[in-house]
């Protein structure tokens, strides 16, 4: 199986920026589409962003589009989430995930992913 390890979370003031990283153990990392999800306290896990195998296609939830950028470096087996203009409502545990299926459209729901990281806390203060 694939092990995923998120890092880069922390406490930031509203309007600030953070960059999350997710390092994968899988040497064939480029065979997985990748995504970021988040779960706020008392809420269900929600889709944030996804990226295709080679990084040519990216997709975002409406709530983060224009503020967040997902990217990947297959040579480093790492996916990133650059978060700018952070808002208090962005506060959540952020998870990265890897999907091995052949259909990229499966990346928009958590049920489309096979492997999950443990999450990293992002807290945005007013």
**Tens-level pLDDT at each residue, the chain (126 residues):** 789 999 999 999 999 999 999 999 977 888 999 999 999 999 999 999 999 999 999 999 999 999 999 999 999 999 999 999 999 999 999 999 999 988 888 889 999 999 999 999 999 999
pLDDT (0 to 100) of residue 38: 98
- The conformation of residue 77, written as its DSSP 8-state character, comes to T
Alpha carbon distance 114, 14 (integer Å): 33
How many CA atoms, within 13 angstroms, populate the side-chain half-sphere of residue 58?
18
pLDDT (0 to 100) of residue 70: 98
């Amino acid at each position: 199986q694939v092990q995923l390890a998120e890092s880069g979370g922390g406490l930031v003031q509203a309007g600030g920026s953070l960059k999350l990283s997710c390092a994968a153990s899988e040497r064939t990392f480029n065979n997985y589409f990748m995504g970021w999800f988040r779960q706020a306290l008392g809420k269900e896990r929600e889709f944030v962003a996804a990226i295709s195998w080679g990084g040519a296609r990216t997709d975002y939830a409406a709530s983060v589009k224009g503020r967040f950028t997902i990217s990947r470096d297959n040579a480093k087996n790492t996916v990133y989430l650059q978060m700018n203009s952070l808002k208090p409502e962005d506060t959540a545990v952020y998870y990265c995930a890897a999907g091995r299926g052949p259909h990229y459209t499966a990346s928009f729901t958590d049920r489309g992913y096979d492997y999950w990281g443990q999450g990293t806390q992002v807290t945005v203060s007013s």
